[in-house]
């Protein structure tokens, strides 16, 4: 029997907690014996005191053991790949990567999360598609990866239920941005879902949980270590999150942009990241090709329409309406214009993420419901030349007062100066 109050106190005072105690706490939380308020206090103690590698491993292991696990490789008789992002603003990468990789003949099975703080979540984006089911049974998940080549699902009562609960709790208790909690949350999902090769997109900068390259490297190394212990291949891309990725921020808006990218008509920065991630996943797969050939095949799947066909098969297989016109739209669309001639020198990712959150695209409390149609489209990005009065962004809002507030927030996120800023590529570094 563990005593949660005692564990909270020991962690608060900087002590290491034994593996069995961490397991007791996590499994107790998953079964409802440990209440939210004690788990929240424990997460806050971890936020300030951190976890050792051993404790991080024990936490990941306990989260995996809170539910069932899948051996996708054994079920399909071949190597399955997976990708995950640490969370950003406008990050709809998985939505485009899944069907492209599937169109290249490599199965991708993925367990995703919901929005956290000012960042959006893949599941929330997918649920803007009418009818789309994120809660498949394990058998349905395995069958879909085998038959359709791609499936993206949420944590369920069967798969990593502890992460489902903890993720929601951390979101509303300011305990998201902690290396061990992020690493355990992401890697428990990756290891339980059974893929053998995993590409992790570690976001760095203003809109990311990791603000500096050093912090991002530490998170990358922690996750690579957890993967190695479990016998998986893990590659981490450290990518820019000083500004939103692509143009669209908000659930249905991002689904539309991901589909446009699968058709070869996406924004430049987002397209580059998607193709790079696809190239690396294909190189890690059982196709026996290198990254260059992976990139060529990903580009040709986009160019010849096979990626779009895979998108449709995937959405329909999960019960969704693949017709774009079925996606929800906001009642009001307001344009934001440049106040002066010049260049966009910065576009705050957190500020845009928060503007989208306040418009209703994310949750402020665990019980909040999401408005899937609302959000922001950033027409001008860092480095773009703009003229006074030119449209730099669109606010998609549920009503006029919300559009007024959104327009103010988004304008404040733009810095416009006379000179172009230094170029910062979307891919900053790769950690193996
Ligand atoms: N993504 C996750 O799945 N978990 C986190 O804690 C952060 C990002």
Which of these is catalytic: 11, 84, 114, 372?
84
The region that residue 292 occupies, defined by phi over 0 for left and psi between -120 and 50 for alpha, beta otherwise, is alpha
Q: What pLDDT score does 171 carry? A: 85
- Categorize the per-residue pLDDT at 116 as very low, low, confident or very high, splitting at 50, 70 and 90: confident
Over residues 291-333, the pLDDT tens digits come to 999 999 999 999 999 999 999 999 999 999 999 999 999 999 9
Establish whether 185 is a catalytic residue: yes
Pocket of ligand 1 (CB under 6 A): 86-87, 113, 116, 181-182, 185-186
H or E stretch including 424? none
How far CA 403 is from CA of 214, 337, 409, in Å, comes to 38, 14, 10
Q: In whole angstroms, what is the distance from residue 297 CA to residue 104 CA? A: 7
Q: In whole angstroms, what is the distance from residue 287 CA to residue 309 CA? A: 21
Q: What pLDDT score does 333 carry? A: 98
How far CA 123 is from CA of 95, 164, 425, in Å, comes to 10, 12, 27
Q: What pLDDT score does 113 carry? A: 84
- Between the CA atoms of 104, 107, 111 and 113, what dihedral angle is there, to the nearest 10 degrees? 0
Residues 132-154 have a mean pLDDT of 94
Please give the order of strands across the beta sheet that includes 150-154. Answer: 150-154, 108-112, 81-85, 197-204, 233-240, 427-431
Task: Judge whether residue 117 has pLDDT over 80.
Answer: no
- Cβ-Cβ contacts under 8 Å for 229 (sequence gap 6 or more): 57
**Structural contact between residues 79 and 197, judged by C-beta atoms closer than 8 angstroms:** yes
Q: In whole angstroms, what is the distance from residue 117 CA to residue 172 CA? A: 7
Q: What pLDDT score does 150 carry? A: 97
Task: Residue count of the chain, please give it.
Answer: 432
Which of these is catalytic: 92, 164, 170, 190?
170
Task: Judge whether residue 60 has pLDDT over 90.
Answer: yes
**Structural contact between residues 356 and 315, judged by C-beta atoms closer than 8 angstroms:** no
Task: Judge whether residue 118 has pLDDT over 90.
Answer: no
Over residues 335-356, the pLDDT tens digits come to 999 999 999 999 999 999 999 9
Residues 124-132 have a mean pLDDT of 97
Count of beta carbons in the 10 Å neighbourhood of residue 360: 24
175 C-alpha to ligand 1 centroid (Å): 11
- Categorize the per-residue pLDDT at 365 as very low, low, confident or very high, splitting at 50, 70 and 90: confident
Task: Judge whether residue 366 has pLDDT over 80.
Answer: no
Establish whether 217 is a catalytic residue: no
- Beta bridge mates, 336: 393
Q: What pLDDT score does 47 carry? A: 98
């Amino acid at each position: 029997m563990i005593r949660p109050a005692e564990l909270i106190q020991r962690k608060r005072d900087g002590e290491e907690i034994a593996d069995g105690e961490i397991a007791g706490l996590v499994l107790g939380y998953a079964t409802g014996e440990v209440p939210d308020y004690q788990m929240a206090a424990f997460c806050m103690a971890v936020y300030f005191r951190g976890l050792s590698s051993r404790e991080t491993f024990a936490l990941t292991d306990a989260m995996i053991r809170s539910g069932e696990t899948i051996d996708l490789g054994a079920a399909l008789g071949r190597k399955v790949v997976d990708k995950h992002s640490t969370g950003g603003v406008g990050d709809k990468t998985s939505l485009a990567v899944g069907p492209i990789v599937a169109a290249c003949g490599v199965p991708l099975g993925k367990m995703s999360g919901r929005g956290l703080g000012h960042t959006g979540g893949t599941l929330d984006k997918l649920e803007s598609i009418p009818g789309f089911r994120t809660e498949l049974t394990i058998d349905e998940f395995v069958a879909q990866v085998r038959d359709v080549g791609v499936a993206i699902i949420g944590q369920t009562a069967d798969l990593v239920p502890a992460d489902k609960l903890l993720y929601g709790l951390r979101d509303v208790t300011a305990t998201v941005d902690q290396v061990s909690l992020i690493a355990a949350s992401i890697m428990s999902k990756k290891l339980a879902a059974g893929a053998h090769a995993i590409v992790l997109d570690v976001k760095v900068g203003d809109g990311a949980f990791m603000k500096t390259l050093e912090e991002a490297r530490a998170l990358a190394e922690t996750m690579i270590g957890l993967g190695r212990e479990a016998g998986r291949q893990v590659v981490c891309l450290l990518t820019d999150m000083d500004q939103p990725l692509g143009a669209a921020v908000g659930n249905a808006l991002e689904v539309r942009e991901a589909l446009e990218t699968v058709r070869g008509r996406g924004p430049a920065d987002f397209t580059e990241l998607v193709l790079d991630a696809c190239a690396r996943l294909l190189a890690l797969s059982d196709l026996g090709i290198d990254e260059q050939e992976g990139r060529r095949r990903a580009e040709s799947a986009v160019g010849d329409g096979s990626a779009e066909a895979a998108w449709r098969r995937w959405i329909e297989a999960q019960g969704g309406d693949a017709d774009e016109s079925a996606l929800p739209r906001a009642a009001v669309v307001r344009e934001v214009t440049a106040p002066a001639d010049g260049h966009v020198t910065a576009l705050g990712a957190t500020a845009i993420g928060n503007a989208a959150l306040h418009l209703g695209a994310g949750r402020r409390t665990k019980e909040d419901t999401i408005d899937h149609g609302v959000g922001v489209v950033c027409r001008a990005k860092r480095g773009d030349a703009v003229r006074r009065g030119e449209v730099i962004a669109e606010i998609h809002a549920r009503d006029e007062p919300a559009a007024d507030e959104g327009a103010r927030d988004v304008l404040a996120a733009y810095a416009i100066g006379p000179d172009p800023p230094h170029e910062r590529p979307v891919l900053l570094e790769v950690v193996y």
